[in-house]
Amino acid sequence: MILSPEQVSTFFKAHWTVRKYKNFKMPVEHLDVILEAAQRAPTDATAQMYSFVRLTDPVLRKQIADLSTNPHIETASESFIICADVFRLEQILKTYDFEPASIPNIAIHFGIGDAVLAGQSMLIAAEMLGYRGCWIGGLINAPNEISELIQLPEGCFPFAALTIGVPDEEPVHRPRLPRNQVVHENTYRKPSAEELKIGAEQMASITARGNWAQTLARYFAKGGGMEAREVKMKEFLQKMIYRGK
């Protein structure tokens, strides 16, 4: 299958993130194809340092929906926890009498990388079939509790959740930053204050109050919501990935 630039453009332009789904059971042949797409994704050294935990138990779905404050984890056709995972890799090494190295920064680097490569391939496969989905960063609100619920072993941590289903809401177009602030040529070009303001204005329509910097600040500035999560995540990674090293 080779598509024209217009077809590819139309396909990616039609991407939108959905948080309200119809009650719809995904046919098993669709589930099979999106998981196949995930598994065909490239991974570092083909080491496949990721795992998916598919959530089918309604009680578990509700618990994780509550912990991550994303109700659509309960209602989507399919809900997954997308994990970085060096546990299995370490088990393979041990099975063949090799001692795993202590490489926590590498594990996080390629673990997240592999998990997202597989997850994004799965989402795009689902979008090709006509579904829509949502990546959920909110697992960082409760990494410990969620990892215990799905019984993740050391060496494994939940990067994000991913829901897929049939939309029960209308598409909304969300803008992006100007390309010349995101794509650089040969060397990183720092945008001027003027350009940053143009970018922030271009993004304003995704915010309730029309002030993108303020929205970002609520998460990423001093006193914002990410500071408490940083503490939680540091402790959590210390336990699951650094393991005292």
Which of 120, 141, 144, 202 forms a contact with a second copy (CB under 8 A)? 120
12 in contact with a second copy (CB under 8 A): yes
Q: According to the binding rule CB under 8 A, does residue 7 interact with a second copy?
A: yes
Residues 125-184 that bind a second copy (CB under 8 A): 125, 128-130, 134-135, 137, 140, 149-153, 156, 159-160, 174, 176-177, 179, 181-184
Site size toward a second copy, by CB under 8 A:
127
Q: Is 186 helix (H, G, I), strand (E, B) or coil?
A: coil
**DSSP character at residue 158:** E
Judge whether 102 and 244 are in contact, CB under 8 Å. no
Tell me how long the chain is: 245
**Of 170 and 245, which has the nearer Cβ to a second copy?**
245
For residue 79, report the phi and psi dihedrals to the nearest 5 degrees. Answer: -130, 130
Pairwise CA distance, residues 43 & 116, whole Å: 10
- Specify whether the CB–CB gap between 42 and 130 falls below 8 A: no
Counting contacts by CB under 8 A, is residue 89 touching a second copy? Answer: yes
Q: Are 114 and 47 spatial neighbours (Cβ–Cβ below 8 Å)?
A: yes
> Which position has the token pair 């006193």?
223
Residues numbered 178 to 217 that lie near a second copy (CB under 8 A) are 179, 181-188, 190-191, 193, 196-197, 199-200, 203, 206, 212-217
Write down the least CB distance from residue 185 to a second copy, Å. 5
113 binds a second copy (CB under 8 A): yes
Residue number, 66 or 124, with CB nearest to a second copy: 124
Which 39-58 positions form the footprint of a second copy (CB under 8 A)? Answer: 39-42, 44-48, 50-57
CA 132 – CA 77 distance, rounded (Å): 10
Q: How far apart are CA 228 and CA 219, in angstroms?
A: 10
**Between residues 75 and 157, which has the closer beta carbon with respect to a second copy?**
157
